[in-house]
Amino acid sequence: MRRILAPLLAFSLVALSFVAAAPRAAHAEDTLSPLKFQSQGALGTIDKAAAQRGFQVFSSVCAGCHSVSGVHYRDLEALGLTPDQAAGEAAAAGGNLDSALKGAAPMDMGGAVPPDLTSIVAQRPGPRYIYDYLTGYAPAPAGVSLLPGHYYNAAFPGGQTAMPAALHDGAVTYADGAPTTTAQEAADVAEFLTWTADPNLDAKHLIGFRAIIFFAFLAIIAIISKRKVWRTSL
């Protein structure tokens, strides 16, 4: 019996360790100290509070130029919005629940057309790049000559971008009382764009976790059966 209980105990400890390692709901005050994104990692999940704030930043600031046409207003219910809230957001944008989250007509910024942001996190090196880009604006260093209509951004390849700095302290007012610093706004919109790039992220990670537990259980059964067979054959 002890030989059976020992593997089962080990299995239980492994399962508990995975549960303990699963991300917990992040609070506004702890996403920046240090900077971290709950959505990252093998068992990462979307921080819905941050993503809701990020949607607010997108709607108030980014949607003037950009769209996220790969998701619809109805999909916002997956972020925790009620059907009435999602419908209200759609109506405010002149659409309905089945409308895509489209921004205003794209602006031509010196020949550069703002891209659709649906999959930008997948196309770039993750949400950290989005954060670094949105907070990377600064005066051009000495010796750097900017192209006409361009701005210096330390995170952007080449250091020059046609997009002006969009975020600033107090650009929005968060309903949950989170600080509206440029850094917080950038982190929140990065989490929102992580969700738009993969709305099923939470479900996929949950399936993966269950698969790990299932195969671990099968491994224990196989070990127990093998020992029983060898013991009876001697």
What 3-state class would DSSP assign to 206? helix
State yes or no: pLDDT of 152 exceeds 80.
Answer: yes
Mean pLDDT computed over 16-22: 47
pLDDT digits (tens, 9 = 90+) for 21-65: 444 555 555 568 788 898 887 778 999 999 999 999 999 999 989
Q: Which residue has the tokens 């921080």?
A: 47
Crossing angle of helices 201-233 and 2-21, rounded to 10°: 170
Query: Residue 151 pLDDT more than 90?
Result: yes
User: Six-digit token pair at 126?
Assistant: 């993750």
Within 8 A by CB and 6+ apart from 74, the residues are 86, 97, 98
- SS3 (DSSP) at 103: coil
Residue range 164-203, pLDDT digits in tens: 999 999 999 998 999 999 999 999 999 999 999 998 755 5
pLDDT tier for residue 5 given thresholds of 50, 70 and 90: very low
Write the secondary structure of 7-20 as one string of H (helix), E (strand) and C (coil): HHHHHHHHHHHHHH
- Out of 3.40.50.150, 3.40.640.10, 1.10.760.10, 3.30.70.1400, which CATH number does the structure's domain 2-67+103-233 have? 1.10.760.10
Look at 41-55, 73-87, 117-131, 204-218 and tell me which has the smallest mean pLDDT: 204-218
pTM: 0.77
Report pLDDT for 6. 54
Contacting residues for 64 by C-beta, under 8 A, at least 6 apart = 103, 104, 107
Sign of CA dihedral 218, 224, 225, 230: positive
**Residue 158: exposed, middle, or buried by beta-carbon count in 10 A (0-12, 13-18, 19+)?**
exposed
pLDDT at 125: 87
pLDDT of residue 211: 52
